[in-house]
Structure 1
Amino acid sequence: MAFLGIMWHMQAFGQQPRVEVHTDSSQILIGSQFHLYLDITLPGSYRLQGYALPDSFNHIEVVQRGQADTISTGGQWQYHQVLTLTSFDSGRWQIPSFPVVLASSRLNDTTHLMLQTDSLWIQVQTVPVDTTKPFMPIKDIRRVKLTWLDVLPYVLLGIALVLLVLGIIYVLRHRKRKAAPVVIQQPLQPPYEEAMALLKQWQAEQPWTKIQMKEYFTRLTDVLRRYVERAFQIPAMEITSGELLEQMDKHRVLREHRAVWEEILSEADRVKFAKWQSSPEIAALCLEKAIQVVEATHQAQEAERRAAESASAADAQAAAVKNISK
């Protein structure tokens, strides 16, 4: 084995690194495999950076590079790796010396050390042929008689396939078609009642203490958006908060409470999209304001409806009086 150190003062590191290579055989039959063992011993001040051995060299090919084993003993590192080699050319071939590169394990130390392995020889021999004996004639193909044991697996497989087909046919003919389940369509609650039922339930359960704030505000705004969509025919589920506020400005009832809607939607957007950490107090306050604004808009909408009905009734009565007077 040859040792070559460059770029470092070896005495500064105590015990010096070393590299060894050997094979498990010095001669093989052509096409057979043999092993090259690589052993590297390093002090703690070094680390292995790599080695340069190509996959093919000098009529020899690397079949497999085994996984390297690393063991720490007595302040030193032991690297062991097994490489499987082969050759398909007869002759005496050399495994050349190849470099093993080490690096300093010290912080901010970029110096390197290169060790050189020994070169080895491998004798690759052909299969010996006895030329004194004559060539043997080529024999005819001999037919072997089949026995019942040879045929039995195919017979059993055929029977199994027939039984499987018959079973499928039987099931298809005799299975009863299941009646389609009757789906009972539950009538929708009015928008106000649906929204208030959920909001009142949440006020009792305080869901912000059980689930994440992001999920809570998502559910809260979904309830409010569904109420606005059903009660005022605004596509609230499909638009952004800004667009929803613009649509609310077109309705007098919603516009009167715009500040409350904007406060709830803004807090929800900050939690959902800006990772804002809302507090339980704010969550409870937003729920309370949601109940109040739904109640207020519903009462205002009902007052408008009653006023419209009264106006229609008055118009109808006036028309009837006019007809009578004629």
Structure 2
Amino acid sequence: SAIVLAALAKLTAAITSPSEAMIVAFFSLSASACFAIVLIIDSGTLISFSSTDMISIPHSSVDSSTRFFILSAIGLIPILKIQKDNITSLNKLSKRTFKMMFSKLYIKLLLPHLLLSLGAGSVMPFLNVFFKEHLNANVYQIGIIFALGSFITGVASFLTPFVIKRFGKVMGIGILQISSLPFLLMIALIPNLTLVAIFFIVRQVLMNIASPIYTAFVMEAVPDEEKGIASGYILFIWGLAWAISSSYSGILMKNYGYNFPFFICFVFYLISAITFISFFRGSEKKLRT
């Protein structure tokens, strides 16, 4: 999946301008969130608002993996219709490709992303365990919470252009990330499933709205011929840091309690936001010069 994501990111960077990349990024977030809702409903779980019980809908004869394969195949149709003439020349792999990651610009762009991923990886892979073991939520409740979070995030992503217009990309990213931190702490400190579910959704909305803004900012910050490489670096850094932090977070959760990784995540998120703002505040129009 990482290879597919990198390829799609490179393709998107090649066929879109920076302004178009912004639209593609937050539309993709909205579409992905809505698609998640469809899959969860399709998997057979609905909530009854007149009762605290869950209603289970039987699966059809075609299993979920087959349906996912069919939907994925349909999604390839628009990609296959992209004309080669519309794709700008993509830079070939070379020694310069690896040297670029250690340039001043790329260090500034990727360091906050690395810190953010270290924080996310310490908590996100274990959220279902946290809800189940710490808050005694059942599988159906967890599914509904995640579904609502994805759906509301998809709807809220249409606020992205307004955030950019009001605060700019750099301050918009910083404000959204810092605003999510109190809700992250409340998830760890308040042992109430309903409240934690609300805090979880609000935090998810704030952090995920910032994601397409960051992607668009990076696409504007790097030269056109380096957009594909920059997209690959973003995915590489995120996956690497996520793997590192998730490997130790499970151990910390086991030894120090389910709340402990949230405090680690809080520190990483805060440093990431402050670092990003300090690197790029007031420099959005000067990055190419």
For normalisation by structure 2, the TM-score amounts to 0.25
Which structure is higher in helix share? 2
Comparing both chains, which one has the higher relative contact order based on Cα–Cα distances under 8 Å and sequence gaps of 6 or more?
2
Which structure is higher in strand share? 1
For normalisation by structure 1, the TM-score amounts to 0.22
Larger radius of gyration: 1
